[in-house]
């Protein structure tokens, strides 16, 4: 274990170690353009960065890692790029599932199933089923995901239950609403990292990131390394999370 890894994994106490890190993996296309490659090569290098991030999360002892793989808004991209992204997701599962399973990684995919190739849906189901009992790291892949659609669907499900007489409107609380989201049962992200220098959430985990610490990195996703994750955690540990209270923990 490197010195920087030891610093991130210790120092500051267990309560300062993020339980859940979410990443908006941005900049594949810009990285490719800057290096004279087609956009597809940027996405392929981005998959390698995902593997590095998973290895780093395992080494640092982070229980949950969520990555924004494909947005529900990405369908507006050229068909050739969409096909390339879908192919990369298939290859990632086929080539890396065995290794992830051996590393005790549990895979969970959140997002809609509409417009997704049935072959890919079957591979996703296989990956979730194969790794369902693993406990070292929850790797959550947000695929065909949009937070507004997730929140709308949760509201619709609860409204349908009220209409069916299964619950009262007064039964809808923060807890019951969270249980209707795609992320039910998961802790909210403590830390969200976005690469490429963009300073926005882009419809990603809007409900779940109400009190998340945000770190923006001025690098493109294919450049992301173990050290970038360590540095983001170091920045996170320098923050004071008050959740609406005061620095000393009292309520204002």
For 50, residues 6+ apart whose C-beta sits below 8 A from its C-beta are 25, 67, 92
Q: Is 26 a catalytic residue?
A: yes
DSSP result, 156-167 = HHHHHHHHTTSS
Structure tokens at 64: 């949950």
Which of the following is catalytic: 15, 74, 203, 218? 74
Which of the following is catalytic: 15, 26, 83, 144? 26
Across the chain, where does the E strand assignment appear?
20-24, 64-71, 105-110, 137-145, 191-194, 213-216
| CA–CA dist 209, 192 (Å, integer) | 8
Decide: 205 and 22 in contact? Cβ < 8 Å: yes
Calculate the CA 125 to chain-centre distance.
Answer: 18
Question: Is residue 89 classed as helix, strand or coil in its secondary structure?
Answer: helix
Tell which residue, 46, 19, 64, 26, has the closest CA to residue 213.
19
Decide: 18 and 233 in contact? Cβ < 8 Å: yes
In the block, tokens 């296309």 appear at 29
| CA–CA dist 141, 252 (Å, integer) | 37
| CA–CA dist 188, 178 (Å, integer) | 10
Catalytic site positions? 26, 74
């Amino acid at each position: 274990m490197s010195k920087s890894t030891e610093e991130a994994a210790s120092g500051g106490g267990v309560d300062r170690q993020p339980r859940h890190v979410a990443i908006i993996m941005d900049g594949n296309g810009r990285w490719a353009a800057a290096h004279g490659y087609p956009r597809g090569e940027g996405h392929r290098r981005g998959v390698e960065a995902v593997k590095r991030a998973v290895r780093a999360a395992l080494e640092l002892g982070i229980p949950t890692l969520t990555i924004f793989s494909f947005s529900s808004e990405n369908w507006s991209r050229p068909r050739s790029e969409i096909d390339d992204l879908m192919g990369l997701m298939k290859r990632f599962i086929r080539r890396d599932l065995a290794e992830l399973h051996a590393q005790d990684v549990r895979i969970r995919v959140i997002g809609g199933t509409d417009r997704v190739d049935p072959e890919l849906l079957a591979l996703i189901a296989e990956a979730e089923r194969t790794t369902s009992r693993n406990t070292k790291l929850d790797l959550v892949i947000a695929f065909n995901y949009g937070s507004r659609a997730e929140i709308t669907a949760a509201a619709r499900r609860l409204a349908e239950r009220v209409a069916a007489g299964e619950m009262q409107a007064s039964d809808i609380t923060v807890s019951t609403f969270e249980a209707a989201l795609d992320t039910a049962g998961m802790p909210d992200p403590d830390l969200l990292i976005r690469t490429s220098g963009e300073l926005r959430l882009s419809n990603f985990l809007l409900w779940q990131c109400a009190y998340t610490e945000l770190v923006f990195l001025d690098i493109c996703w294919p450049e992301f390394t173990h050290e970038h994750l360590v540095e983001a955690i170091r920045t996170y540990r320098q923050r004071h999370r008050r959740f609406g209270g005061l620095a000393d923990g009292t309520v204002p």
